[in-house]
Amino acid sequence: MGNNNNNNEDKGLLEGIKKIDVKRIKQVTNQVISKETGARLKAYMSTCMHCGLCSKACHFFLSHDGDPKYSPVAKVQQTLWKLLNQEVQPEDFLNIAKVAYTECNLCKRCSMYCPFGIDIAYLLSMVRRICFRLGVAPMYIQDTDNSHAATMNQMWVKDDEWIDSLQWQEDEARDEIPHLRIPLEKEGADVFYSVIGPEPKFRTQLIYQAAVIMNECGVDWTMPATPGWDNSDMAMYVGDYEIMGRLKRLHFETAMRLKVKRIVMGECGHAYRSVYDTGNRWLGWKNMPIPVIHAVQFYWELLESGKLQVAKKFSEPVTIHDPCNIVRGMGLHEKLREVVHAFCSDVVEMHPNREYNFCCSAGGGVINCGPPFKMTRVLGNKKKADQLKATGVKVIIAPCHNCHGGLEDINHYFKLDMQIKFLGDIIYQCMQKPNAI
C-alpha cells in the first residue's frame, strides 16, 4: 500500500535548493510580488483574519482528521507569509515547495467558505511561481513543463506521431462507420476540436469516440496537423507562465489559421481553466480571440438541438463527479446533469455536489508531481473516497482527465471497486448512430 512519500525523494527539490541562497530568494520574491501581483494579493493578505473557517472546505484537512497544518490558511502561513516576511532559508523550500505543489490542488473550494472570499489558490499559485523562478519544483512536473516547451504538448508526442494517432483512430472507426473521417486542416469549419496530450499517447479511444459523436451528429469540424492541438497546460501549474503564454497563443493562433468559428475542448478541466482564466490574463487579452467551450457544454448543445439522440439508457446506477475547473470555475454543473440524466436511467448524487464538490486530489498539477508524492494526494483524499463509497453505486462519471487519474488511484487504494467513465464513454455507448453498420 506504500507510505506517505516525502519530498526527500525528489531530485527537483533537492538539487534546486543547492543552487539558491538568501539573496536570490529575496530577489526573486520581490520581483514576483512587485511586478506580477498587485492590489489583489495585497487585499487578500491584509484581509485574512486567520479565522480558520476555510479548514473544513479542504479535503486534505478533512482526510487527516483535522490536522491544522493542512488548513488552507496554515498552508499560506507556511509559505507566502514567510516569503513576504523574508524569513526563509534555502532549506525551507523543501517544505514550501511540498506544501504549494503537493498539498494543495488549487481547487478553490476554500474560497467558498472564506467570509471574505479570499482566493487561497491564487496565493499558493504565486508561491509556485516563486519556486519555479528559483528552480525549486518537483522533478516530474518540471519534465512535463520541458515537454511543453520543446514539443508544445505535455507528452513528448512528435508531429508525425500525432498525425499517425489520428489516422489510426479514423481507420478503427471506419470499421464501425464506413464513411467516417477525422478532417485535418479543414479551413472554415464550425469547430476546431482540441484535446490534451494523454489522448494520442494513452487514451486514443477518446479520439475515436469524439470522431463518432462529431460525425453522427453532423458537426462541421476539424483538427490541426500541427502543434497547437494540445490544450493542456502543466506550465501553468508549475509556475512557468512564459511557456503557459506560448501554449495559449499557439492554441488560438492554430484555430485562427484554420479560420474556424470556435474551439471545442475535450473533457479536461485544467486546460479550460488555463484558457478562460490564467493564460489569457497572462497574455493581456481582454477577450479570447475565438470563442471556446468545454465538451460538456458542447454535448449539451448537441442534445438540446436534437443532433444528439439517445438510443438507449445506461442502466447501471451512476454518480457524477463535478470537476473543479468546469463546475466551481465555470458553472457547468447543471448542463452536466442534464446530459447525464438524458443518457442514464439511475443517477445517485454524491453529497455535497455541484460547486460544493470535493476535489479529485489529482488536479492543480499535483498528479504531475509524480510517484514521490502519490501517497500524499491519495491519503489526502480519503474524504472523497468516503463520499464515493456512501453512494453505493459502482460507476462514476467524471468528465476530466486528471479527475480520472485521481479517482482511479483512490478507487484502488481504498478498494472502492468502482468504474470511472468519461461522459463521452456513456454518450458513445448509448447514442443513436444512423450511419453505423
Please report, for the domain that includes residue 421, its CATH number: 3.40.50
One domain for residues 120 and 180: no
Strand-pairing partners, residue 184, are: 223
Ramachandran class of 364: left when φ > 0, alpha when ψ lies in -120 to 50, beta otherwise: left
Q: What is the pLDDT along the chain (437 residues), one digit of tens a residue?
A: 333 444 458 999 999 999 999 999 999 999 999 999 999 999 999 999 999 999 999 999 999 999 999 999 999 999 999 999 988 999 999 999 999 999 999 999 999 999 999 999 999 999 999 999 999 999 999 999 999 999 999 999 999 999 999 999 999 999 999 999 999 999 999 999 999 999 999 999 999 999 999 999 999 999 999 999 999 999 999 999 999 999 999 999 999 999 999 999 999 999 989 988 888 889 988 888 999 999 999 999 999 999 999 999 999 999 999 999 999 999 999 999 999 999 999 999 999 999 999 999 999 999 999 999 999 999 999 999 999 999 999 999 999 999 999 999 999 999 999 999 999 999 999 999 999 99
Quote the CA–CA distance of 287 and 304 in Å, as a whole number: 27
Q: From CA 160, how far away is CA 45, in angstroms rounded?
A: 48
pLDDT for residue 280: 83
The answer to whether 271 and 399 are in contact (CB under 8 A) is: no
Torsion of CA 416, 205, 406, 155, to 10 degrees: 150
Report the candidate in 143, 237, 149, 153 with the shortest Cα–Cα distance to residue 199: 153
Residue after which a domain boundary falls, among 302, 320, 347: 302
Would you state the cell numbers that stand for residue 213, as one nine-digit string? Answer: 459523436
Domain that holds residue 370: 310-430
In the prediction, which pLDDT does 8 show?
53
Predicted pLDDT of residue 1:
32
Does 214 lie in the same domain as 124? no
For residue 352, say if its preceding peptide bond is cis, omega within 30 degrees of 0.
yes
Q: Is residue 2 part of a domain?
A: no
Instruction: Report how far residue 175's alpha carbon sits from residue 296's, in angstroms, rounded to the nearest whole number.
Output: 27
Q: What is the pLDDT of residue 249?
A: 96
Residues 158, 231: one domain?
yes
In three-state secondary structure terms, 108 is coil
The rounded distance, in Å, linking the Cα atoms of 68 and 61 is: 7
Q: How many domains does the chain have?
A: 3
The CA distances from residue 372 to 9, 61, 225, 375, in Å, are 6, 20, 35, 8
- Name residue 294's beta-bridge partners: 265
My answer on whether 320 and 298 are in the same domain is: no
CB 235 within 8 A of CB 244: yes
**What's the pTM value of the predicted model, to 2 decimals?**
0.95
CATH classification of the domain holding 11: 1.10.1060
Helix, strand, or coil (residue 392): coil
